[in-house]
């Protein structure tokens, strides 16, 4: 039997989590996946917001467990987050992200939530989880260089006159197909575990998982190549939108953990299964994408760089790969950092591509400032509340 007080505090924490999910959906997970496609005029702003909401919900339910558990249990050692700590951390982060949404500057959600959770965790008397911090910091530092560099190289490849576009895009599509075949989904594995398309198909084909992944890559490449020969413009547009959809799905799998992760230590006390919380977080992302994302989509698509279809493709491929790596290892990551870095890298492949250096500088300052500010505010607010209660 769940005590009334325990249930009430969980409900309050869940409402704070829903607000955080809305803010994330309206900001990073809702705006970044289709921003390059909107910038390339492949899809309208409103349609992009609608699609990213649905795909983000699916990603949250099918891939959200790893990052959710990492945020809830691995950022602080020695203590578990209480309901009060979860509420303070979530509200602090959500307010900062919402400010970013309404001012048009993309606050890095992963920086903000990580800072807030660590802040309240230390205020509770926990110890820093240095091993996890090193893992997170490595990904955060490498993302602009790896993502931006890969986007730059891909955009340059697509501009080479010596490489026919149909061969280049078909090859890139094959690589994406292989990656999709090897990522894990909750529905394809045994209870409590994930499974990939390749591992599922590998049980029925010679060569197992590797052969299945190669087969998926060849199939995607062949379909793309045929389309690029018969109707290159339409095929290129569909490939770009497919990439945006994959990034949106990955955003849901990663960003939902930032919204509902702090609830994980409370689930046993109220007998709520993780899948139900993932679905609730996914619903919050969907609402945010539908109601608040169009503003940020416009900001990213038009303010950072003027991208054509080829440079948009170049931006989305490394974004998808980095996002899936973060999901697989359970690392909270900022989709603003991933996609903005890729947009900048692909923009520079054309000699700058309209990249706004002033906007870049403000964005980097917002990322760093959000981490420090979220940590300080959540720590201070929790200490003040604890003193008042005592």
Q: What is the mean pLDDT of residues 163-173?
A: 92
Residue 334 has pLDDT above 80, yes or no: yes
| Cβ neighbours around 4 below 10 Å, total | 8
pLDDT tier at 30, thresholds 50, 70, 90: low
Closest CA to 13 of 303, 267, 313, 323: 267
Distance CA 184, CA 324 (A): 9
Confidence band of 324 (pLDDT split at 50, 70, 90): very high
Report d(CA 307, CA 313) in Å as an integer: 9
Give the integer Cα–Cα distance in Å for 30 and 268. 30
**What value does the mean pLDDT of the chain take?**
84
Residue 17: closest CA among 92, 65, 87: 87
Q: Is 223 helix (H, G, I), strand (E, B) or coil?
A: helix
Three-state SS string across 152-204, please?
Answer: HHHHHHHHCCCCCHHHHHHHHHHHHHHHHHHCEEHHHCCCCCCEEHHHHHHCC
pTM: 0.86
Decide which of 305 and 176 is more confident: 176
Mean pLDDT of 135-164: 90
pLDDT number for residue 307:
66
Question: How far is Cα 145 from Cα 322, in angstroms, rounded to an integer?
Answer: 12
Better pLDDT: 269 or 84:
84
Q: Which residue has the tokens 């699609």?
A: 51
Which ranges of the chain does DSSP label H, i.e. alpha helix?
4-26, 28-31, 35-39, 45-63, 65-73, 83-103, 109-123, 130-159, 165-182, 197-202, 208-230, 232-260, 267-270, 274-291, 293-299, 309-329, 335-348, 357-389
Tell me which residue of 218, 220, 214 sits closest to 201, measured CA to CA.
214
Phi-psi bin for 330: left (phi > 0), alpha (psi -120 to 50), beta?
A: left
Instruction: Give the bridge partners for 128, in sequence order.
Output: 76
What mean pLDDT do residues 194-218 have? Answer: 86
Q: Which of 67-71, 202-206, 209-213, 318-322 has the lowest mean pLDDT?
A: 202-206
Pick left, alpha or beta for residue 206 (phi over 0 → left; psi -120 to 50 → alpha; otherwise beta): beta
Tell me the CA distances in angstroms from 124 to 116, 349, 376, 382, 385, one per residue in order.
12, 48, 14, 8, 11
Residue 11: the pLDDT is: 84
Q: What is the pLDDT of residue 222?
A: 95
pLDDT at residue 192, as a whole number: 64
Close Cβ partners of 148 (under 8 Å, ≥ 6 residues apart): 341, 342, 344, 345, 348
Residue 207: predicted pLDDT? 79
* Cβ-contact 333, 111 below 8 angstroms: no
Residue 164, token pair as written in the block: 């026919």
Note the pLDDT of residue 337.
82
Is 349 in contact with 314 (CB distance < 8 Å)? yes
Question: Mean pLDDT throughout 329-340?
Answer: 85
Q: Can you read off the two tokens belonging to residue 124?
A: 């509770």
Most confident of 194-203, 212-221, 334-343, 355-364: 212-221
Query: What's the rounded Cα separation, in Å, for the pair 38 and 23?
Result: 21
* Terminal Cα-to-Cα distance of the chain (whole angstroms): 28
Contact 37, 239 (CB under 8 A): no
* pLDDT for residue 136: 93
C-alpha to C-alpha distance for 256 and 13, rounded to whole angstroms: 15
The pLDDT tens digits of the residues spanning 212-271 come to: 999 999 999 999 999 999 998 889 888 988 998 998 899 899 889 998 988 888 887 777
How far apart, in whole angstroms, are the C-alpha atoms of residue 256 and residue 302?
26
Is residue 305 over pLDDT 50? no
* Predicted pLDDT of residue 341: 85
């Amino acid at each position: 039997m769940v005590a009334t007080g325990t249930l009430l505090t969980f409900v309050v924490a869940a409402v704070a989590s829903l607000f955080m999910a809305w803010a994330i959906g309206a900001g990073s997970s809702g705006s970044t996946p289709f921003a390059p496609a909107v910038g390339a005029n492949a899809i309208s702003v409103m349609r992009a917001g609608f699609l990213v909401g649905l795909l983000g919900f699916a990603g949250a339910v099918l891939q959200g467990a790893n990052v959710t558990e990492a945020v809830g249990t691995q950022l602080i050692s020695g203590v578990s987050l209480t309901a009060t700590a979860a509420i303070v951390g979530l509200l602090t982060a959500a307010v900062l992200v919402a400010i970013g949404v309404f001012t048009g500057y993309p606050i890095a959600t992963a920086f903000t939530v990580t800072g807030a959770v660590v802040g309240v965790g230390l205020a509770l008397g926990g110890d820093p989880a240095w091993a996890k911090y090193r893992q997170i910091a490595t990904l955060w530092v490498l993302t602009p260089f790896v993502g931006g560099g890969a986007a730059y190289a891909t955009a340059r490849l697509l501009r080479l006159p010596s490489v026919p576009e149909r061969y280049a895009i078909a090859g890139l599509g094959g690589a994406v197909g292989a990656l999709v075949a090897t990522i894990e989904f909750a529905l394809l594995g045994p209870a409590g575990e994930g499974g990939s398309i390749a591992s599922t198909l590998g049980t029925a084909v010679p060569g197992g998982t590797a052969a299945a992944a190669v087969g998926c890559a060849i199939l995607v490449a062949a379909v793309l190549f045929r389309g690029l020969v018969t109707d290159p413009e339409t095929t290129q547009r569909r490939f770009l939108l497919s990439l945006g959809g994959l990034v949106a799905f990955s955003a849901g799998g990663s960003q939902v953990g930032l919204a509902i992760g702090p609830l994980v230590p409370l689930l046993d006390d109220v007998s709520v299964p993780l899948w139900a919380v993932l679905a609730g977080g996914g619903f919050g992302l969907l609402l945010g994408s539908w109601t608040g994302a169009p503003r940020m989509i416009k900001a990213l698509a038009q303010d950072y760089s003027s991208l054509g279809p080829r440079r948009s493709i170049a931006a989305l491929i490394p974004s998808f790969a980095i996002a899936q790596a973060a999901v697989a290892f359970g690392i909270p990551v900022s989709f603003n950092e991933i996609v903005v870095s890729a947009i900048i890298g692909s923009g520079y492949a054309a000699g700058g591509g309209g990249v706004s250096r002033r906007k870049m500088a403000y964005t980097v300052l917002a990322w760093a400032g959000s981490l420090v500010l979220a940590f300080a505010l959540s720590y201070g607010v929790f200490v003040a509340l604890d003193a008042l209660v005592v």
